[in-house]
Chain A
Amino acid sequence: MTQRTEDHPRISSPRHQAHPIHQTDQTSQTHHPSQTHHPSQTRLLPPPDQPIIDLDAHLAWFGPLPYRGTPATLIDEVKAAGLTGRGGAAFPVHRKLSAVLASAARNKAARNGRARPIVVGNAAEGEPASAKDKSLLLLAPHLVLDGLQLAAQAVGATEAVLYVGMEPASADWLDGLIGQRQATGLDRAPVRLVAAPPRFIAGQESALVSRISGGPALPMFTPPRVFERGVDGRPTLVQNVETLAHLAQIARYGAAWFRAVGTPDEPGTAIWTLRQADGRVEITEAALGTPVTRLLDLRDTQAVLVGGYHGAWLPAATAAELSLTNAALRPHGAAVGAGVLAALPASRCGLAETARIVRYLALESAGQCGPCRNGLPRIAAALADLATVTPDRPLTDPFIIDDLARWSGLVQRRGACAHPDGTVRLVASALRTFSGEVDAHLLGRCTAASGEPFLPVGPGPVTEKDWR
């Protein structure tokens, strides 16, 4: 374990990602409302190389923590702002807040002892290609902790949890900040830090609830949904940490301010993890609706992975025409997701990259549901077969494309969580986007110049103890 100081937070994860370079987005129109004297063009991320760790510095930079008095007063503001979840599903935040509040009220009316709701900030970030949640926590941790307090107040929760997938040293450092806030009396709801295991699906809502309740981080069958019965059987609000940071800023500056950037239907900014074709990894904040080409350099790029490993590949020429909203991406089978954008260099084989990712995803299956347990390894093996053909070693399965389509259909909507659905979405997009490469491989050839892996994957095989 390395020695750490508050002055030098380091981007770190169990998978040892490349060090993301924090970059201010030059294209954003954002101006910080409370501060006119600093040049920041972003709302959540502090200026490059200036993490805001000190509590007083944080309050001076972003403004005081605006508790709203009674529960629920923030919900209307969040609804007017149109804030959606930044963890991947883009679910309207006010609907989750209202659902937890209503569920707690029903429990209270029924004199159910488990009336008190609980709020969870989700920074499991099990996606190997994403680093934005860890970066936000290391660069502006108090903004997330502000959001956690305000969300707790909005639903009447007296307890909160921060669920983080970070190295123990980083988690200890965060725990110190939490203790500091409690000592100063800033926080009204005590916050407990819970470590998320480095599993792809550890942040799935029901898996998160299971882990925080003391079990393994495995998805559970729903219903009940977590807003009805979540952590310890209580109504539970789960929000991604970036979402909580936006919520804290909406509480400070209001819905109109939030809507000043982005599009009318998808307002505000998002934090993006950019993986450039030259291998650089960058964390940047930019408005929804920003053109892909403003964030990614598409020279020497054949395709763009949008949304991460449950996302979709798009041909570079298609991506170059698109803006980053779900409305623009949906017709192409893609979504903003958790804000991952990766440019695949022209030198690589898209099928080989996808096969490697899908093998990883198959290994990350919890193995609880028959279709996922049986289907994902077959899909992964077929893709590996297709990816590694040579003139001397042709396909072992001549009907490989038909098999992939059939198995994909057989796993969809048949799991307790969306892991199989997300995995086959990626596979389908690869077969579409790399159709030329598929044709070459069916003839035993690969057009790629380099076989060197590009996108990161986790360490692979998962055993029983790895879910805690």
Chain B
Amino acid sequence: MPATSTANEPAAKATPASTRLRVNPIACSGHGVCAELLPELISLDEWGYPVIADAPVPVSLLKQARRTVTDCPALALTLARRCLPSQAAADR
């Protein structure tokens, strides 16, 4: 996952500006519950799999995002606190 600059995000005390939603694509079975619970950040592609906004979760949506994570039937969603290291290393 590419690390995106979060310089423009307003500073939030309770949550780091870099809190992001991430889906485990292997675990995800395309129930689509997430897109109903959090349409602000998640839409579904034409095959029913979630497309997650490439942006940090705003503080105003954090509670809703946490609930979406716990309500995923496949437990495929996570809220990551910081940017994940680049996946560039030797994929294949």
Contact = CB atoms under 8 A, between A and B. Distances in A.
Interface string A218-240: 01111101000000000000101
Contacts of A310: 92
Contacts of A350: none
23 contacts: A85-B90, A88-B90, A89-B91, A126-B92, A203-B92, A205-B89, A205-B91, A220-B26, A221-B25, A223-B85, A238-B90, A368-B26, A369-B25, A369-B26, A372-B25, A374-B47, A410-B46, A410-B51, A414-B49, A415-B25, A416-B24, A418-B87, A422-B92
A354 B87 CA distance: 26
A96 interface: yes
Contacts of A418: 87, 91-92
Given A221-B25, A223-B84, A416-B26, A371 B91 contact: no
A414 B25 contact: yes
Interface string A412-452: 01111111001000000000000000000000000000000
Given A221-B27, A371-B25, A422-B92, 5 more contacts: A368-B26, A370-B30, A416-B24, A416-B26, A419-B92
A370 B47 contact: yes
Q: How large is the interface on B (under 10, 10 to 19, 20 to 34, 35 or more residues)?
A: 20 to 34
B26 A371 contact: no
Interface string B58-92: 00000000000000000000000000110111111
A221 B88 CA distance: 14
A417 B92 contact: yes
Contact of B92 (A89, A225, A374, A413): A89
Contacts of A156: none
A89 B88 contact: yes
A201 B92 contact: yes
A225 B85 contact: yes
Q: How large is the interface on A (under 10, 10 to 19, 20 to 34, 35 or more residues)?
A: 35 or more
B19 to A, nearest CB: 16
A93 to B, nearest CB: 10
Nearest to A96: B89
Contacts of A413: 1-2
A87 B92 contact: yes
Nearest to B90: A89
A340 B22 CA distance: 34
Nearest to A417: B91
Interface of A: 85, 87-89, 91, 96, 126, 201, 203-205, 219-223, 225, 238, 240, 310, 368-372, 374-375, 410, 413-419, 422
B55 to A, nearest CB: 14
B39 interface: no
Interface of A is mostly: loop
Contacts of A204: 91-92
Contacts of B85: 223, 225
Nearest to A371: B49
B79 to A, nearest CB: 14
Contacts of A225: 85, 89
A221 B24 contact: yes
Q: Which 7 residue pairs of A and B lie closest in terms of their CB atoms, listed nearest first?
A: A369-B25, A370-B49, A418-B91, A374-B47, A89-B90, A91-B89, A368-B26
> Which among A126, A225, A371 has the greatest number of chain B C-beta atoms within 10 A?
A371
A426 to B, nearest CB: 13
> Which among B48, B87, B89 has the greatest number of chain A C-beta atoms within 10 A?
B89
A166 B15 CA distance: 51
Contacts of B35: none
Contacts of A417: 91-92
A124 to B, nearest CB: 9
Interface string B1-15: 110000000000000
Interface string B36-49: 00000000011111
Contacts of B27: 221
B28 interface: yes
B90 A87 contact: yes
Nearest to B54: A413
